């Protein structure tokens, strides 16, 4: 994903997957963000303590 320098955006929501981190999950998070009408995903997370939850925040530019 290319780096974007726009400052103004709206948080659309969260997406979470319980699985191992790999390229497929990244694509799934991106497509889920697009399905919700977002422009990009940010704040990718993996929880090593509680398991393999992977999440991202969906944002939409103003």
CA dihedral 9, 14, 16, 22 (to 10 degrees): 0
Under 8 Å CB-to-CB from 56, ≥6 apart: which residues? Answer: 14, 15, 29, 33, 41, 42, 43, 44, 45
- For tokens 């991202």, name the residue: 56
pLDDT for 31? 77
Pairwise CA distance, residues 42 & 60, whole Å:
11
Domain segments of the chain: what residues?
A: 9-61
**Digits of tens for pLDDT over the chain (62 positions)?**
444 445 555 555 666 555 555 556 667 777 777 777 777 766 666 665 555 556 677 777 76
pLDDT for 1? 46
Read off the pTM: 0.39
């Amino acid at each position: 994903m290319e780096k974007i320098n726009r400052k103004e955006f709206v948080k659309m929501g969260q997406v979470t997957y319980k699985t191992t981190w790999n390229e497929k999950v990244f694509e799934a998070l991106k497509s889920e963000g697009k399905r919700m009408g977002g422009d990009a995903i940010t704040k990718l997370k993996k929880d090593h303590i509680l398991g393999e939850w992977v999440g991202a925040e969906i944002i939409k530019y103003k």
